[in-house]
Amino acid sequence: MRQTKLCFVIDRLALRSGGAERVLIETANALHDAGYSIEIVTHEQRGKPPFYPLRPGILRANLRPANEQRGRIRRMIDRLRMKWHRSEWLPYGLRRLKWLSMHGGFKSRLGRHIDATQPDAVIAFLPPSVTALGLARFTHRPRLFASLHNVPSQDFDNPQRWDPNPVDRSFRRAALDRYDAIGILLPEFQDWFPEHLRARLLVVPNAVQPVRSDLVRQAIRDNTVISVGRLAEVKQHRLLIEAWAYLKDDFPDWTCKIYGIGPMQEELSELICKLGLTGHVSLMGDTREIEKVYLSASILAHPAKFEGFGLVITEALAHGVPVVGFEDCSGFNFIVKDGTSGLFVNGEGDRARNLSKVLARLMCDPRRQENLRAGGLREVERFAPERILALWKLAIHGPTEHAAAKFQGED
Amino acid sequence: MLDVLIPHFNDAEALDLSLRSVAAQTWRGKVRVIVVDDGSPSDELRRAEAIISSCDLDIELIKQPENRGRPATRNTLLSASDARFIAWLDAGDTWYEKKLETQFNTLYKQVYDGQDLSRIWVTCNYDWQWVGGRRRKVTQTTSGDQLKHLYVGDRLRAYLWTLLGTREAFNLVSGFDERLPRLQDLDYFISFVRGGGRLISAESSDALCCYFKSDVGRNAQEIRDCYETIFSKHGPSLNRFGVKFVRRAKAKADFVAARFAKNNRTPLVSLGFRMHAFGMDPRYTLYRAKKSLRNG
């Protein structure tokens, strides 16, 4: 019988295909298989199902009342509120009121729901739900775990991320004090946290789903360099396109394919035309068959500025694709070992030029690609699902002396 | 193999009645009965032990040293079971002899249809008999929105002893909520359906078991509180049916509590629940009042 009741909280999940949403669902599925009872709580307008499949038996609860169930006057007020939420109008005296209007409902409904369901542990994913859970009022006393999925300075200091209201930023930080444990993806993120929170930090990397070894062995690789990620500034696809301008003449039989969608699509498309790379570099859009893409690619170029973790990197390694990225990119330099599972690019000077040089070195050396492929498959064993599940159990139940010793030993 | 799970407290005679109905089943598969005694007084426990030892069935008796209540006992039963299939029975209720055979036929048909048995419970129609009254057949309707029907309780009722399913299906969601001294089956059914489980009806319109119903000695306020716990626990799934539906479900809960209060001779308490129901859903309360006047 399922003994331990867990409540996962995330503000939005419907049809979301992001990394954190995927980790939430994979973790919930793994814990359900391990005998836990799971409920996923959201607070969103759309009543659509999650993008990633959930195991039968996992309950979902959307705490936000549906619009059509509200009265006409209430709906009218809601529309005005939504307009205010979207606007940048934020007079000093009304900041707190705006915060309450945007997040107060989630916070109070979440508190009531926790008292009603009485879970043993509540796990909040991403800052909006970490804040809501940290500030919610409830009399029940579950273990609280905050699961963070980005560089902490981005989640807590960057005014462009999440709610730009300064009140939200201060609440985001204050809410962390209430948590029994805080999950971060990389050990280097510990430095950001104040002294009193450091003892509560737990490094829980993302799990990598194993790929059938025969598929990796028998894969027929094209002369393709791929890049996978949202078309946003932080992913620096621009650098890869510029690097390809140096490579196209020396490697006419190679192509570069960029998978993902995002706000920079038009800009990158123009850059490809401007540099005369049409037919050499392609923007492929979104795909649901990413496994096929990995199994047919030779190299993953990952020019991102920084990564919260870099699921794409671990996925590529698990599919036998060596990864090239910048040495100063967090996440990348934690997962990849230079010369073992991928190659590091010097971050100093002309980054596009540096990237092209390292890519060229690897593209003309199939034996090296093969060695890195084998090294990558060994490296990702660190992120095997059963190892990460053990860390999640530690996060849920709290460290006993024995468990803590065991995990320190493993690390 | 099938495990028949029976909670027992302080009523050896009722246990005897239930065991006889299990022994009389026409289904000839391997059956084990697990009885968990929920801390009965020693003389009643001795009587239950004597009944068990004189019964031809394969019976395992688990004794809880103290009375922990029905939901905890059911959780003990669920943990103790390791058979492929599970059926439930409460001491004092009975199965008719074709129950298991009919329900297994339905379940196997699902296998042939390629259905996933880990998400299916087979329920059946049953007879409802008030102590000293006549039997009345109750039909379980499994078509339509099962969650809605469970909240209202008119077409589909949450009674464990109507069910047959795989052990996996009964472990699809968490066990019985130990905060609910009453109605823990309703909470369990709602969780099952919310978790993607589905109830199907046995392929027989006959009643396949009998529920001997008595409200005597049951606290009406406790019943109403349990409803409230369930409504808040599953609030988001209930609220999606709209405000009117929620008020109707709450008014119906008030009427159930009022019936318990009336049958326990506390008319003022009963009136209080009816007044509350009127506040919740005046139209439904007036409809009920009109109906009871018509029925005398």
pLDDT in tens, A354-369: 999 999 999 999 999 9
Average pLDDT over every residue of B254-266? 92
Contacts of B194 in chain A (CB under 8 A): 59-60
**Residue percentage of chain B with pLDDT more than 90:** 89
Is residue B28 located within the same domain as residue B80? yes
Does position A45 have pLDDT exceeding 90, yes or no? no
Give the count of domains, chain B.
2
Angle of helix B12-23 relative to helix B42-54, nearest 10 degrees, comes to 20
Mean pLDDT computed over B69-75:
96
CA distance A221 to B198: 45
Please indicate, yes or no, whether residues B89 and B191 belong to a single structural domain of this protein: yes
Q: What is the arithmetic mean of pLDDT over B41-70?
A: 94
The pLDDT assigned to A402 comes to 42
Residue B61 above 70 pLDDT? yes
What's the pLDDT at A252? Answer: 93
Region B22-51: what's the mean pLDDT? 95
Distance from CA of A55 to the nearest CA of B (A): 9
* Chain B residues within an 8 Å CB radius of A59: 173, 191, 194-195
Domain limit, last residue, from B155, B190, B213: B213
Strand pairing category for A299-302 and A224-228 = parallel
CB contact at 8 A, A317 and A377: yes
Q: How many helices (H) and strands (E) does chain B have?
A: 12, 11
Residues of B in contact with A57 (CB under 8 A): 172-173, 195-197
Look up the CATH number of the domain holding residue B176. Answer: 3.90.550.10
The domain defined by A213-382 folds into Rossmann fold (3.40.50)
Q: pLDDT by residue (tens digit) across A209-265? A: 889 989 998 999 999 999 999 899 989 999 999 999 999 999 999 999 999 999 999
Domain of B146? 2-213
A47 and B75: CB-CB below 8 Å? no
- Whether residues B200 and B239 share a domain: the answer is no
pLDDT at A129 exceeding the cut of 90: yes
User: Where do the H-state alpha helices sit in B115-203?
Assistant: 146-152, 167-170, 184-194
The domain boundary residue, chosen from B213, B238, B253: B213
What rounded mean pLDDT belongs to chain A? 91
Inter-chain residue contact A57 with B197, CB threshold 8 Å: yes
Q: Which of these, A268, A295, A293, A300, lies nearest to A283 by C-alpha position?
A: A268
pLDDT for residue A406 is more than 60:
no
Among B174, B176, B184, B191, the residue to mutate for chain A (most A Cβ within 10 A): B174
Model confidence band, residue A1 (pLDDT cutoffs 50, 70, 90): confident
Least confident of A287-291, B116-120, B208-212: A287-291
Interface touch B239/A2, C-beta < 8 Å: no
User: pLDDT band at residue B76, thresholds of 50, 70 and 90?
Assistant: very high
Nearest CA in chain B to A69: B242
CATH match of A5-70+103-207+385-410 with 3.30.1490.20: no
Residue A410: pLDDT band by 50, 70, 90 thresholds? Answer: very low
Q: B78 and chain A: CB distance < 8 Å anywhere?
A: yes
Q: Which of B78, B173, B175 sits opposite A59 (nearest CB)?
A: B173
* Subunit contact A1:B237, Cβ cutoff 8 A: no
Mutate to test the interface with B, among A4, A59, A110, A138 (most CBs of B within 10 A): A59
CA distance A74 to B242: 15
Indicate if the pLDDT at residue A8 is higher than 70: yes
Render pLDDT for A56-115 as a digit per residue (tens, 0 to 9): 999 999 999 888 778 889 889 989 998 988 888 888 888 899 999 999 999 999 999 999
- Enumerate the residues of chain A whose CB falls inside 8 A of the CB of residue B229: 116
Tell me: do B67 and B91 sit in the same domain: yes
Beta strands in A307-354 (DSSP E): 323-326, 342-345
- What's the pTM value of the predicted model, to 2 decimals? 0.89
pLDDT of A404 strictly over 80: no
Tokens of B277: 């129901």
User: Which residues lie below 8 Å from residue A371, measured CB to CB, with a gap of 6+?
Assistant: none
Q: Is the pLDDT of residue B283 over 60?
A: yes
Looking at the structure, tell me whether residues B29 and B168 fall in a common domain: yes
Specify which residues A184 forms β-bridges with.
A203
Chain A interface with B: residues with Cβ < 8 Å: 1-3, 5, 37, 47, 56-63, 65-66, 69, 112-113, 115-118
Q: Say which range, A333-337, B217-221, B244-248, has the weakest mean pLDDT.
A: B217-221
If asked whether residues B224 and B140 sit together in one domain, one would say: no
In a shared domain, residues B164 and B286 = no
B174 and A47 in contact by Cβ < 8 A? no
Average of per-residue pLDDT across B66-82: 95
Question: CB-based contacts of B228: which residues, under 8 Å, 6+ apart?
Answer: B253
Measured from the Cβ of residue B113, the count of other Cβ atoms closer than 10 Å reads 7
Enter the ipTM.
Answer: 0.92
Same fold: A5-70+103-207+385-410 with A213-382: yes
Residue A97 pLDDT: 92
* Average pLDDT of every residue of chain B: 94
Distance of alpha carbon B264 from alpha carbon B219, whole angstroms = 8
d(C-alpha B279, C-alpha B255), whole Å = 12
Structural tokens at position A232: 């946003």
Name every chain B residue with its beta carbon within 8 A of the beta carbon of A63.
236
Distance from the Cα of B250 to chain A's closest Cα (Å) equals 16
**pLDDT tens by residue, A309-331:** 888 999 999 999 999 999 999 88
For residues B209 and B224, membership in a common domain is answered with: no
Q: Which residue of B has its CA nearest to A5?
A: B174
User: Quick one: which H or E segment has residue A325?
Assistant: strand A323-326
- Tell me the one-letter amino acid at A88: E
The model's pLDDT over A258-285, given as tens digits with 9 standing for 90+, comes to 999 999 999 999 999 999 999 999 999 9
B174–A117 CB contact, under 8 Å: no
Domain limits of chain A?
A: 5-70+103-207+385-410, 213-382
Put simply, whether B218 touches A (Cβ < 8 Å) is: no
3-class SS letters over B213-244 = ECCCCCCHHHHHHHHHHHHHHCHHHHHCCCHH
What pLDDT score does B263 carry?
87
The residue out of B193, B213, B233 marking a domain boundary is B213
Instruction: Give the whole-angstrom CA distance, residue A321 versus residue A377.
Output: 9
Residues 6 or more apart whose CB falls under 8 angstroms from that of A125 comprise A8, A9, A10, A20, A21, A23, A24, A147, A149
Amino acid at the residue A331: G
- Counting Cα atoms < 13 Å in the Cβ hemisphere of B26 gives 10
